[in-house]
Chains A and B, each alone.
Chain A
Amino acid sequence: MRLLRYVFYRVLQIVPVALIVVVINFLLIHLAPGDVSILLAGEDANPEFMATIRERYGLDEPFLQQLWSYLVTILSGDFGQSYRTGEPVIGLIMERVPATLLLAGSSLAVAAILGTAIGTAIARRPGSFLDTAITTLSIALFSIPVFWLGLMLILFFAVRLQLLPSSGMITIGGPRDGLGHILDILWHMVLPVAALATVWLGQYVRLARVSVSEVLAESYVTTGRAIGYPERTIMTRFGLRNALLPLVTVLGLELGLLLTGAVLTETVFAWPGLGRLIYEAILARDTPIIMGAFVIMSFTVMIASLVTDILYAALDPRVRL
């Protein structure tokens, strides 16, 4: 019951943030150089279409009225149409979401699990040579521009060794159903996931190292040792159990960063996800898609942080509900 109330309030808190994101979008369109209707309809739209756009967004009405019309339009899920194809933006974006989720989700799983394990292991010996070396290495890993790492992986594994496919999600003319199809996708995932996971791995090693060693300095860990628990129990029941909570929160907060990496990686590997869509939209100056992607990404991050907060509340008895 208390959890439900917490969820309710947390959802309420999201509303103003969502509104602000839409307002930012609105202000940007109006501040940008050039005619608003051209931005929304595209440069070579015919006059009738231009008129419909002006009508829908109320562009001939007073400023505040326009803001209201814009809010209503966006919140009803209407992000306008693509310049090029005339298809609704929301449909174009939703179509691409699964591929991005597949790529980002698998990379995140690999990085988070491996990173937590490595970070926890080096937290046992803070200040040791191994700790310094791995910490330094993990900082170097998350300093790699992910798209460049992608290129290097292609260069080595696809061009030089000709071992793995360098682009796309499926083999053209390959199997389209059953196990063969799944294996084909997995095969295409290897390089992009490797690139993304490598960069995030650095992040998670670092986070886990900091989080676990902070917990190990707490008095309850000393109590555990005074009780005589073996170090393995201390690590799991006291250390990891308490350190995982901040890790989960950071996961939610950094989702925006993760999506950034995913978009850039998709561009390199021609992965048919959101990133590819954004990239193509930029090249074609298809502004409605870029704006729609920004709003949807913002909402996704907000919802993700909501979910992690609720998870946190469920996991950590200390959160005041």
Chain B
Amino acid sequence: MGRGLRLLRGVVSTVPGALSLAVVLLALVVALAAPWLDLADPVAMGREVYKAPSAAHWFGTDNFGRDVFSRVIWGTRVALVVAIGSAVLSIVVGAIIGAIAGYFGGLVDAALSRLFDVFLLIPTFFLVLLIVALFGASLPMTMFAIALTTWPRSARIMRSQVLSLKSRVYVQAALASGASHRQVIVRHVIPNGIAPILTDGALLMGLAVLTEAGLSFLGLGDQNSVSWGRMIFEGQRQLRLAPWMSIAPGVAMLVLVASLNLLGDALNYAMNPQLRTRGGAPRRRGTAPPPADEPGEGHGAILRVDNLSLAYRVGRRQIVAVDGVSFSLSRGGSLGIVGESGCGKSSLGSALLQTVPNNADFLSGTVSIDGQTVLAGGRPIARQGRLRIDALRWTHIATIFQSAMNALNPVATVERQLVDAYRHHRRGASRAEARERAGAVFDLIGVPRSRLNAYPHELSGGMRQRAMIALSLMLEPKLIIADEPTTALDMLIQDQILGEIEELRRRLGLSLILVSHDMGAVSETCERVAVMYAGRIVESAPTSVIFSRPSHPYTRALIDALPDLTGARRKLASLPAVTDQATCLDACRFAPRCPHATDLCRTVSPPVVTLMDGHDAECHYAADFAPQPREELVR
């Protein structure tokens, strides 16, 4: 199975993962081979009692003259039997019951879920202890008792897996095509849901070993088997006389349990590689001093971007998200950056703000905001150890994130967040002053001041977005970057918010960059439009020109994908899916999806064609497309 192999590769790619897998496999081999290894009889008593470790007895002998090394090796068998036995029992029972709960939902799910919750609250060790105390201490009883207390763990995982799988397309399709419940569960649900359960299985095995040891240590171990817990139990009484009796089995247990836990951890990371590296504080990047030839604050364009490139490191691959982008924005101007998801438009936005994730590198580029260079040659500008962008943040350049994405701190009121931002930049401003400013901004955007005391989650989607806009306006920035500010909102609210942003922009003389996948949204708000495809701006022009004379086939496709409310009904155009984000540099990136692509497009990357002043397109045939009315190209 390809997936299993990939998982395995993920596990062994890290040192702890590879090491723990090796230890677990070694333990398995040792446990299986114990009878054939040339070991002393683990239960045979001898005359050589309390012998310290030596060449004859590697780990010494115990109070009955038994060889400790041999007992530790045989103990591996018991440990693994308990671990595997309880885990398998727990997983089988749990997976089945969890799948039933998730799959059928409704009352079945409600009842079973309550049961899982009850078990979560019962201190399992004490239940196991009670069961073993009442029913007699034996290995099977121990395994049974452990599984009885742990199966709800597997069941809960399976249930949530099934719930998320159930909504996926292929399961829906299988159901629609008339497959029986049993078939769907066996073919689709179990194979896909089992991976996280197996990860938990490794942890379960570790827990089982520790539980068995704990029981043995309390005198509730199987009298007839050589278990590590029992050895420590017996060793405790000889601690002063023969410490090696308890040291060796404890180390063995520690190594096995730690390996099982590390293996579970490595499996988890192999399944979700982003978990390992996401988050974190921004890393330090190499900086550059400010250049001598900058216009200075208040001069030149509000934003100038020259040859900006940004790449992400994912594993060993490098993905170029922004590839040599240049543009500038005049003071008070507005620019829409449009493209499908994954085209690099949001990366471009965060690159301008220098809030890119740690696995992103600036490959090249110069950016200046309000006449002050903040990035030169791909290096952030710093002066006396302070990043220049820090001085410009929120006072010169602010941002409006999509608020549905948790863009506001959930544990602070809106007012608190506005006030904090204000006082952070206006040193010495009083709390009252900051409050007044927050109120004024709320007045400005037409939200009643009473909403200031709300927590973000208490606001509707539209209100939350307005709160985010208010936050961005707190320090009267000159430039605002709005990244999909209306995406998760319903159409009516979208329109309102866009209208409000546009009005604010005019009233306050702001400059605006609106990043969106929606050509319609941009057309209503922005004076200019830049269309992005695969990390490059492929066409840019004033909004009216883009719509009347689109000269790049991709721009045309974007416009044709807009529903038209007034004209005659027609089929909406759609593009063929992306085959592979074009990486070959000697071709037009759009060629694989372009209905008009020729051999020239597939072999030579297109030049920037200037069609008129302020209208550029990156297409071999831009000049041919420009004069043609749109309709002809749709078919």
Chain A residues proximal to chain B, CB less than 8 Å: 16-17, 20-21, 24-25, 28-29, 31-33, 39, 123-127, 132, 135-136, 139-140, 142-145, 147-149, 151-152, 154-155, 159, 212-220, 222-229, 231, 233-235, 237-238, 241-242, 245, 253, 255-257, 259-260, 263-264, 267-268, 278-279, 282-283, 285, 287, 290-291, 293-294, 297-298, 301-302, 305, 315-318
Contacts and interface: CB of A to CB of B under 8 A. Distances in A.
B211 to A, nearest CB: 9
A159 B240 contact: yes
B176 interface: no
Interface string B338-368: 0000000000001001010000000000000
Q: Main secondary structure on chain B at its contact with chain A?
A: helix
8 contacts: A126-B279, A139-B16, A144-B254, A231-B282, A260-B214, A282-B219, A294-B127, A317-B411
A151 B254 contact: no
Interface string B129-154: 11101111000000000000000000
Given A212-B279, A220-B406, A229-B424, A317 B455 contact: yes
B213 A302 contact: no
B279 A279 contact: no
Nearest to A225: B355
B265 A139 contact: yes
Contacts of A21: 118, 122
A40 B265 CA distance: 44
Interface stretch (B158-166, B245-253, B302-310, B503-511): B245-253
B121 interface: yes
B206 interface: yes
Contacts of A152: 247, 250
A316 B122 contact: no
Given A123-B279, A220-B409, A259-B123, A226 B15 contact: no
B408 A126 contact: no
B16 A20 contact: no
B210 A145 contact: yes
B306 to A, nearest CB: 22
B425 A242 contact: no
A98 to B, nearest CB: 19
Interface in B404-447: 405-412, 420-421, 424-425
Counting chain A CB atoms within 10 Å of each CB, the highest count among B122, B229, B276 belongs to B122
Nearest to A133: B16
B253 A148 contact: yes
Contacts of A149: 250
Contacts of B299: none
Contacts, number: 234
Closest 6 CB pairs of A and B: A256-B123, A228-B393, A213-B279, A216-B279, A148-B250, A143-B258
Given A28-B134, A224-B409, A228-B390, A124 B218 contact: no
B121 A302 contact: yes
B515 to A, nearest CB: 14
Contact of B217 (A124, A147, A217, A223): A147
B276 A32 contact: no
A222 B282 CA distance: 10
B394 A39 contact: no
A223 B401 contact: yes
A299 to B, nearest CB: 10
B280 interface: yes
Contacts of B14: 132
Nearest to A160: B243
Contact of A218 (B247, B261, B406): B406
Contacts of A142: 261
A16 B110 CA distance: 14
Given A123-B279, A159-B240, A242-B410, A227 B421 contact: yes
A231 B236 CA distance: 50
A123 B446 CA distance: 40
B470 interface: no
B278 interface: yes
Contacts of B6: none
Interface string B160-199: 0000000000000000000000000000000000000000
Contacts of B213: 145, 147-148
B232 A260 contact: no
Interface in B444-499: 455, 457-458, 471
Given A226-B394, A228-B394, A302-B121, A283 B254 contact: no
